[in-house]
Homo-oligomer: A and B are copies of this chain.
Amino acid sequence: MDIARSEDPDIGIPATCRICEARQGVVCGALAAAQLRELSRHSTRRKVDAGREIVAQGEEVTSYSNIMDGVVKLCKVMPDGRQQIVGLQFAPDFIGRPFVPESTLSAEAATPAEICVFPRGLLDRMIADTPELRHNLHAQALKELDAARDWMLTLGRRTAQEKVASLLYLIATHAEPETTSSTAFDLPLSRAEIADFLGLTIETVSRQMTKLRKQGVIRIENNRHIVVPDMDELERLVSA
């Protein structure tokens, strides 16, 4: 009956997908039930330890993934070992670059993560067949471009203190959707990773964090857990 149909939009959708956090994400949100069924048959859900590489810089890419849980960092490294994190991705973001054979950067789990891996050929075919999917990927690319350019401003023109405040603000707004004036969260990154994201050294990051703590802008519990009593104060320090 029409009523039954309109009341259950999940008819024909695999059970795994129904409870999936990325069901409405960039990729799966654009697929029809039949496509979801086929994709789900060939995908594997996989746990990734923190620090484990998902895609290697300069390597041929044979699969794409959805982040189901955790945080993934996108890195560039120089031959001499200097490193820069050029992006952070959160669930349910999509990892992968259509149209290009190999990746110019590496993707690595920053926290223990869970990803859903799609074979490249299959998803490429669905991209070719599905205008809405293409549109979603285009929109995500533009979103990432904006994020990258915002961060360029941070890297080029902000002081160490502003950089650290920017990072805390970024994590806070991505981890905690609620915009109450007080916030608490766990840092998904080590001090070394924060340094690689901000273009600083570990020591400078540590010193700036201590300074923010002594100023009362944040409280630090067990290194990773941060409490921000007043988000407005933190935002002020970003001077955006």
Contacts and interface: CB of A to CB of B under 8 A. Distances in A.
A127 to B, nearest CB: 10
Interface in A120-151: 131, 134-135, 137-139, 141-142, 144-146, 148-151
A239 interface: yes
Contacts of A155: 152, 155-156, 199
Given A84-B157, A157-B83, A199-B157, A78 B239 contact: yes
A238 to B, nearest CB: 10
| Number of identical monomers bound together in the oligomeric complex | 2
Interface string A68-99: 00000010101110111011000000000101
Interface string A189-223: 00000001011000000000000000000000000
A137 B78 CA distance: 30
A104 interface: yes
A1 interface: no
A84 B142 contact: no
Nearest to A105: B149
Contacts of A97: 142
A86 B141 contact: no
A4 interface: no
Nearest to A79: B239
A142 B139 contact: no
A240 interface: yes
A97 to B, nearest CB: 7
A19 interface: no
A99 B139 contact: yes
A165 to B, nearest CB: 13
A3 interface: no
B152 A148 contact: yes
Contact of A157 (B82, B87, B141): B82
Contacts of A145: 141, 144-145, 148
Given A84-B157, A134-B138, A148-B152, 9 more contacts: A80-B239, A84-B156, A99-B142, A105-B149, A138-B138, A141-B142, A141-B145, A145-B148, A155-B156
